[in-house]
C-alpha cells in the first residue's frame, strides 16, 4: 500500500504538482501496480548479479579531439526565457 503522504513525498521528489484528484487516483493506482510488481520479491534472487546493461561493453573511449558543438545562440533559441547569453529562471530563493 502506498498512502497519500507517500504519494505527496514522491511527487515532491519528482518535482510534480498533483491535483487533489490526481493524488487520490495515484495512491490507488500505484498501490495496485506495486502489488503486481511485488511478485518479484517472492523470487529467490540470492547470488544473482544485477543487469544494468545488456551489451557487453566496458569503458567506451574516444580520442580526445575537440569538435564543433552547438553555437550558444542556437542552444538558447528554444528557451522560454533568456538573457545575456544565459537561460533565465525565477529565483530559487523567492
Partner 1 sequence: MASPTTSELLELTAAGALRRIDEGELPADEVFDAYAEVAAAEELNAYLWRAEPGTRPTPPSADESEQLRGLPVAVKDLFCTEGIKTTAGSRILEGYRPPYTATAVRRLSQAGARVLGKTNMDEFAMGSSNENSAYGPVLNPWDRARVPGGSSGGSAAAVAGRLAPWAIGTDTGGSIRQPASLCGIVGLKPTYGAISRYGMVAFASSLDQCGPLTRDVTDAALLLRAMEGRDPLDSTSVGIDGGVELPSREDLGGLRVGVARDFSHHAEGVEPGVAETFERSLATIEQLGGSIEEIELPHAEHGISAYYVLAPAEASANLARYDGVRYGLRVDGVADLVAMYERTRARGFGLEVKRRIMLGTYALSSGYYEAYYGSAQKVRTLIARDFERAFERCDLVVTPTSPSVAFELGARTADPLAMYLSDYFTVPMSLAGIPAISIPAGLAEPPGGGTPLPVGLQLAAPAFAESRLLDAAHALELAIDFQERPA
Which residues contact partner 1 by CB under 8 A?
2, 6-7, 9-11, 13-19, 22, 26, 29-30, 32-34, 36-41, 43, 45, 48-55, 57, 60, 62, 70, 74-75, 77-81, 87, 89-92, 94
Report, in Å, the least distance between residue 2 CB and partner 1: 7
Structural contact between residues 2 and 27, judged by C-beta atoms closer than 8 angstroms = yes
Nearest-approach distance from CB 6 to partner 1, in angstroms: 8
Shortest Å, Cβ 85 to partner 1: 14
Rounded to whole angstroms, the Cα distance separating 88 from 80 reads 8
End-to-end Cα separation, the chain, in angstroms: 36
User: Whole-angstrom Cα distance, residue 94 to residue 92?
Assistant: 6
Amino acid at each position: 500500500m502506498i498512502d497519500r503522504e507517500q504519494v505527496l513525498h514522491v511527487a515532491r521528489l519528482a518535482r510534480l504538482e498533483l491535483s487533489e484528484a490526481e493524488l487520490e487516483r495515484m495512491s490507488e493506482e500505484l498501490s495496485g501496480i506495486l502489488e503486481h510488481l511485488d511478485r518479484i520479491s517472492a523470487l529467490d534472487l540470492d547470488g544473482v548479479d544485477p543487469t544494468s546493461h545488456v551489451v557487453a561493453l566496458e569503458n567506451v573511449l574516444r580520442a580526445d579531439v575537440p569538435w564543433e558543438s552547438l553555437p550558444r545562440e542556437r542552444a538558447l533559441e528554444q528557451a522560454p526565457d533568456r538573457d545575456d547569453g544565459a537561460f533565465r529562471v525565477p529565483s530559487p530563493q523567492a
